[in-house]
Amino acid sequence: MLPFEVLDPIITAALREDFQDRGDVTTDCTIPAGRQGSARFISKARGIICGLAVSSRVFELIDPRLQVTFHVTDGDGVTAGHLFGIVSGSLASILKAERTVLNLMQRMSGVATLTAAFVRAVEGTGTVILDTRKTTPGLRVLEKYAVTCGGGRNHRMGLYDMAMIKDNHIDAAGSITAAVGRFRKESAARGIAVPVEVETRTLEEVREAVRLGVDRIMLDNMDCPTMKKAVDIIVGRCETEASGNMTLDRVREVAETGVDFISVGALTHSVPSLDISLQIESVRNS
C-alpha cells in the first residue's frame, strides 16, 4: 500500500475541505462528549473493494484511539449487503471521518470494479489492461493503485517516467522521425533514460515508428482490421498498445488483434463509485 508520506497530504486536504477553521458543527453540537459506539461498513452493490488502508488512515488521523477492523482485503469481491468491516470508539470521531472515508473508498472501489470488468473481458487473450493519466487531480496515486487492485496495470505515472510522443508532439515537430530524433538527442544531453512510446494514426506512421526502433507503438483510434494489419507490421519488434474509445462492448475484439496492451481512460475518468455505506450499529456512554 502507499506510504503515509504519500497518503497524508491527500487525506489532510480532503479533511480541510470539510472542516475549514470551524470543524464539524453538526457533530460537535449534537453528539455528547464521551459518547461511544461502533459503525459497520456495508456494500450496497456487487464490486471490488479498494481503499481499506486509506480509510484506516483517515480514522487514525481523526482519532488514533478508533479501532478499525476489515474482514476483506483490497481487491476482494463483495456483494450487495456484504458487511465487510467495523469501526468503534468515539462516535463523534467516526462521524467526522465518515464522508472522507466513504468518498475515497467508494471512488477507489469503483475504479477497481470497472478495471476488473475490463480484465475479465480480455481474459485468455494475453492482452494487459492499462490505465491512463486521465485521473482526478490530486487522486492519481490512489486511482492508479485501485487499477492494480482490479487486475490492471499502470501506464506511466506522470510526464516524467516515460516519453509518450503523441499526435500534437508529432505535428509540432513536423514528423515522427523529427520528434523521436530530437527527443533522443535532448534526452541524451540531459541524462534522461526512459522508454519511448509513439502514437500512430495510420499504417504509414506505424512503419515509420518501426524503422525508428521505439519501445512501444500506440495504435490510436484505429478500427480492428487496421489494427490487426499494424500488429502484423510490427511483428514483435516492439510493444503494441491500442487506445481510443475503449468500451466493454469492443475491448475483446480489440484484444484479439494481438495487441500487448489496451489503455482505457474510462477506468478513471468516468467510473461510477461503488455504493458503500457506514451505519451506526451500537451506541453507549463512556
Catalytic positions, please?
Answer: 99, 134, 166, 199, 220
> What DSSP character marks residue 271?
P
- CA atoms of 1 and 108, how far apart (whole Å): 13
Q: What is the DSSP letter of 228?
A: H
Q: d(Cα 80, Cα 160) in Å, to the nearest integer?
A: 41
- C-alpha cell at position 159: 510526464
Query: What is the 3-state composition of the chain as percent helix, strand, coil, each rounded to the nearest 5?
Result: 45, 20, 35
Query: What backbone torsions phi and psi does residue 282 show, to the nearest 5 degrees?
Result: -145, 150
Cα torsion angle, 59, 60, 66, 67, sign: positive
Distance CA 145, CA 247 (A): 21
- Secondary structure E strands in the chain: 35-43, 47-48, 67-70, 77-78, 82-90, 128-130, 163-165, 196-200, 216-220, 239-243, 261-263, 276-285
